[in-house]
Chains A and B, each alone.
Chain A
Amino acid sequence: GESVGLHLPTLSVQEGDNSIINCAYSNSASDYFIWYKQESGKGPQFIIDIRSNMDKRQGQRVTVLLNKTVKHLSLQIAATQPGDSAVYFCAERVPGYQKVTFGTGTKLQVIP
């Protein structure tokens, strides 16, 4: 099948280790940020979101950190599993609009 991860930056992580995926977002006016996971041949899947009035949000095995000063977003995945292998996209949204702008993806490869 087609590869969503063609020519994308790749992060290789040993199974059980923690993963950190970074993203630089583009618009300082953005107030809502989302991380998506996309497996080959499938649409993106929501992982976690964060609003600009927060700097950290935790979910199940995932944590998102937001640094508005340097326009940086990160996704931390604890105890990475083979099923976490996918392409991960950060996305941002400006107030008043529904348009979501996706960043450059990162391919996560989990080594068993």
Chain B
Amino acid sequence: DTGVSQNPRHKITKRGQNVTFRCDPISEHNRLYWYRQTLGQGPEFLTYFQNEAQLEKSRLLSDRFSAERPKGSFSTLEIQRTEQGDSAMYLCASSLAREGEQYFGPGTRLTVT
């Protein structure tokens, strides 16, 4: 399977704990995106990388959230001191060019108890 992969698929954590998610984009794609989706809503943009550079960040990405793409390949999204409101599906997508379609991964479902 050469699509976008995300790990883990599900994460249950207690409030206050830190969590980290990983996204592996399609290998030749230099652009990578993170979104958050809650039940019944469309995905909300969080951040965008071109290669290793983080070029866009949403105001939704509070100081508890940090994303990295150190070598321009895989990316990690870390949430510190999780809150119940962080419970959502976290989606990663990648694309080849600025005008290219974004290919989404299956997401990581986070539940904060």
Contact = CB atoms under 8 A, between A and B. Distances in A.
The answer on A and B forming one complex is: yes
Interface of A: 2-8, 32, 34, 41-46, 49, 89, 91, 97-105
Contacts, number: 59
Given A43-B107, A46-B101, A49-B101, A99 B56 contact: yes
A41 B91 CA distance: 11
B101 to A, nearest CB: 4
A108 to B, nearest CB: 15
Interface of B: 4, 31, 33, 39-45, 48, 50, 55-56, 58, 91, 93, 98-99, 101-107, 109
A60 to B, nearest CB: 15
Contact of A44 (B40, B43, B109): B43
A46 B44 contact: no
B74 to A, nearest CB: 17
B42 A91 contact: yes
B58 A44 contact: no
A102 B44 contact: yes
